[in-house]
Amino acid sequence: MPADPARGRAENEPRTGRIRPGPAAAARDAGSDRTRRRRTRNLSAPTRASPSRVAGDDPPAMTATNPPARIVLALGAGGARGVAHAAVLRGLRAARVPIDAIVGCSVGAIVGAMHAAAGMEPDEMLQAARRLNAMSLFAFALSRWRVPVLSRAASRHAGAIPGYLERLERASFERLHHGVRRLGVLTFDLKSREEVFLLGGPGLPSALPVCSAVKASAAIPALFPPLRARLGGRKVLLADAGWFTAVPVERAFAPPLLARRVIAVDLSLVVCLRQARRAYWRSLQETCGDRLLVLRPDVRGCGTMVSWPTDPDRLIAAAEDSVLRALPTLRAWLQEAAPGAAFLDSPGVSC
């Protein structure tokens, strides 16, 4: 019986590489043995030259077909506040800011994948967000657990969520939209207790399909079941990584993306174990300088699990305001990115 190529790609050993933390991460983790012991993996597709890559190997090299990303958008966790991500996307498009790659965690992965992989316009996502409510979200969550009677009853109240999930099922890393070349999804393996970063794009197939990667990244513990998968010959149990890394900024700067500029959207997820501290962001900003732009929409009073009917409009307005305040920096970036400027000629480096 012929082998299934898609299955073979997922079950073969993926090309992996442990990402070295930059100076900011090293300074942040210096006093924490527990954080220092936690390993990270960067998973992309296997290559013919090295079909059995293991953690610790070098990440994919920069080539003419895989150049460093110019501007990477990092979308963080935030639950119901995720509507702000769609509003940021709309604001950046209005400002004609080209996004070369998107990396996301939790709801940031959902918004990033719906835009880049499923091709949804920001306005369409904003309209969808206004129609969603806490009841449909919890009903959909219950329908994902393998309890037949409960799943059938809950699925009738899940609203439009299953329809959007079907769009992700049809999406692929091989075909991205809106000028995005790479899409990264951050997850957490509950078995090995390490972060797993799934990166894909045209010519760079991921170790998992888009929909599976997003399901894993959005699998909030106790609400959604974790995703069982097989990566590189080992079984993994993938869930939401937002409890540890709410905004995957370092993934954008690290290989293989090596972003020259990063726009990070922080939705103030205070339960994040690492990034809730102001010292983290201060150290990262000092290290990366003007290569990092952090947008912080005013999300005070807006819930992460349960939202009020007025929350979407408040979040949209706050996100658009954060983009407006960042326009001087964004315009300076675009001027530096003019043809022949050093901004495009120099390779990206890890912060």
pLDDT of residue 65: 54
Percent of the chain having pLDDT more than 70? 66
pLDDT at 29: 46
Bigger pLDDT: 1 vs 187: 187
Pair 72, 257: CB distance under 8 Å: yes
CB-based contacts of 26: which residues, under 8 Å, 6+ apart? none
| C-alpha dist (Å) from residue 204 to 11, 96, 350 | 16, 26, 21
pLDDT score at 180:
97
Least confident of 23-32, 216-225, 268-277, 282-291: 23-32
Band the pLDDT of 95: cuts 50, 70, 90.
very high
How confident is the model over 189-219, as pLDDT tens digits?
Answer: 999 999 999 999 999 988 999 999 999 999 9
223 band by pLDDT with thresholds 50, 70 and 90: confident
Mean pLDDT across the chain, nearest whole number? 78
Identify the band that residue 243 occupies on the pLDDT scale cut at 50, 70 and 90.
Answer: confident
CB 337 within 8 A of CB 346: no
Select, from the ranges 187-201, 278-292, 302-316, the one with the highest average predicted confidence (pLDDT).
187-201
Domain ranges of the chain: 5-47+70-337
The 3 state secondary structure assigned to the chain is: CCCCHHHHHHHCCCEEECCCCCHHHHHHHCCCHHHHHCCEEEEECCCCCCCCCCCCCCCCCCCCCCCCCCEEEEECCCHHHHHHHHHHHHHHHHCCCCCCEEEEECHHHHHHHHHHCCCCCHHHHHHHHHHCCHHHHHHHHHHHCCCHHHHHHHHCCCCCHHHHHHHHHHCECCECCCCCCEEEEEEEECCCCEEEEEEEECCECCCCCHHHHHHHHCCCCCCCCCEEEEECCEEEEEEECCCCCCCCHHHHHCCCCCCCEEEEECCCCCCCCCCCCHHHHHHHHHHHHHHEEEECCCCCCCCCCCCCCCHHHHHHHHHHHHHHHHHHHHHHHHHHCCCCCHHHHCCCCCC
- Please state whether beta strands 261-265 and 40-44 pair in parallel, antiparallel, or not at all (unpaired): unpaired
Q: Which has more pLDDT, 103 or 34?
A: 103
Its sign, for the CA torsion 59, 13, 216, 123, is positive
Residue 59: band (very low, low, confident or very high) from pLDDT cuts 50, 70, 90? very low
Q: Answer with the residue of higher pLDDT: 162 or 218.
A: 218
The whole-number pLDDT of residue 159 equals: 62
Question: What fold does the segment set 5-47+70-337 form as a domain?
Answer: Cytosolic phospholipase A2 catalytic domain (3.40.1090)
What band does 135 get if pLDDT is binned at 50, 70 and 90?
Answer: low
Q: Tokens standing for 315? A: 């979040």
- Percentage of the chain modeled with pLDDT above 90: 48
Rounded average pLDDT over 218-241: 90
Report the pLDDT value the prediction gives residue 310, as an integer from 0 to 100: 87
Whether the predicted pLDDT of 26 surpasses 50: no
- Contact between 97 and 71 under an 8 Å Cβ cutoff? The reply is yes
pLDDT of 239 higher than 90: yes
What does the pLDDT average to over 26-46?
Answer: 43
Which residues, 6 or more positions from 146, have their beta carbon under 8 angstroms from its beta carbon?
225
Per-residue pLDDT band at 131 (split at 50, 70, 90): confident
Exposure of 245 in the CB half-sphere (CA atoms within 13 A):
31
Instruction: Give phi and psi for 252, each to the nearest 5.
Output: -70, -40
Is the entire prediction scored with pTM above 0.95? no
